[in-house]
């Protein structure tokens, strides 16, 4: 009986240590991501401003090559912005994990970024028959779909 109790205490100790290690790791990641995002925000504004100024200057001087360089700078600024927004999503997820650890309901099997798990194939098939899309590929559930477009004077059903 005491070996079962010792085993359960050891398991609980391992789980508690794991939660503590995860908490430390999450806090470290959040600090790193916050610092990175601060630099990314400044870099984004700098590159975007440089791209706008370059494009404007080149358009005024009819310099096609410089226009494309400005467009490339704006594209690069957009990539920086996307990276910063991705970091923000990870920061929110890490904060939720930290809150779960604090509440005591933390599970170590969650994903870093949540994915959309909605099932796109949720059509109601009549009589449990499979609609393979070959017999009527443009119709859902073997029934016609009508879209109504309204013009100020009349309606047209397509």
Q: What is the per-residue pLDDT for 122?
A: 47
To the nearest whole percent, how much of the chain has pLDDT over 70? 68
Distance (Å, whole) CA 95 – CA 10? 28
Other CB atoms within a 10 A radius of the CB of residue 130 amount to: 6
Distance (Å, whole) CA 81 – CA 138? 39
Q: Which residue has the higher pLDDT, 83 or 4?
A: 83
Residue 52's closest CA among 76, 33, 71?
71
Do residues 152 and 158 lie in contact, with contact meaning Cβ atoms separated by under 8 Å? Answer: no
Express each pLDDT in 113-149 by its tens digit. Answer: 555 555 545 444 445 455 444 555 555 555 554 555 4
Distance (Å, whole) CA 60 – CA 56? 6
Do residues 101 and 58 lie in contact, with contact meaning Cβ atoms separated by under 8 Å? Answer: no
Distance (Å, whole) CA 43 – CA 48? 8
Express each pLDDT in 86-122 by its tens digit. Answer: 999 999 999 998 898 888 877 776 665 555 555 545 4
Residue 91's closest CA among 109, 113, 110?
113
Q: pLDDT-based confidence at 11, cuts 50/70/90?
A: confident
Average predicted confidence (pLDDT) for the chain: 79
Residue 70 has pLDDT above 80, yes or no: yes
Distance (Å, whole) CA 72 – CA 82? 15
Q: What is the per-residue pLDDT for 71?
A: 95
Residue 48 has pLDDT above 50, yes or no: yes
Token pair 């997820």 is at which residue?
A: 93
Residue 10 has pLDDT above 60, yes or no: yes
Give me the mean pLDDT over the 62-84 stretch.
Answer: 95
Give me the mean pLDDT over the 64-72 stretch.
Answer: 94
How does DSSP classify residue 120?
S
Give me the mean pLDDT over the 36-59 stretch.
Answer: 96
């Amino acid at each position: 009986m005491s070996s079962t109790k010792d085993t359960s205490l050891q398991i609980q100790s391992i789980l508690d240590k794991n939660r503590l290690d995860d908490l430390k790791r999450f806090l470290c990641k959040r600090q790193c991501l916050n610092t990175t995002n601060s630099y990314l925000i400044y870099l984004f504004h700098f590159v975007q401003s440089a791209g706008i100024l370059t494009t404007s200057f080149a358009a005024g001087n009819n310099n096609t090559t410089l226009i494309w360089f400005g467009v490339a700078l704006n594209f690069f600024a957009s990539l920086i912005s996307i990276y910063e927004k991705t970091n923000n999503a990870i920061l929110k997820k890490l904060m939720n994990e930290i809150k779960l650890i604090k509440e005591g309901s933390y599970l170590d099997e969650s994903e870093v970024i949540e994915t959309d798990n909605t099932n796109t194939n949720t059509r109601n098939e009549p009589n449990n028959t499979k609609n393979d899309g070959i017999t009527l590929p443009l119709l859902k559930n073997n029934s016609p779909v009508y879209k109504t477009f309204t013009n100020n004077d009349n309606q047209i059903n397509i």
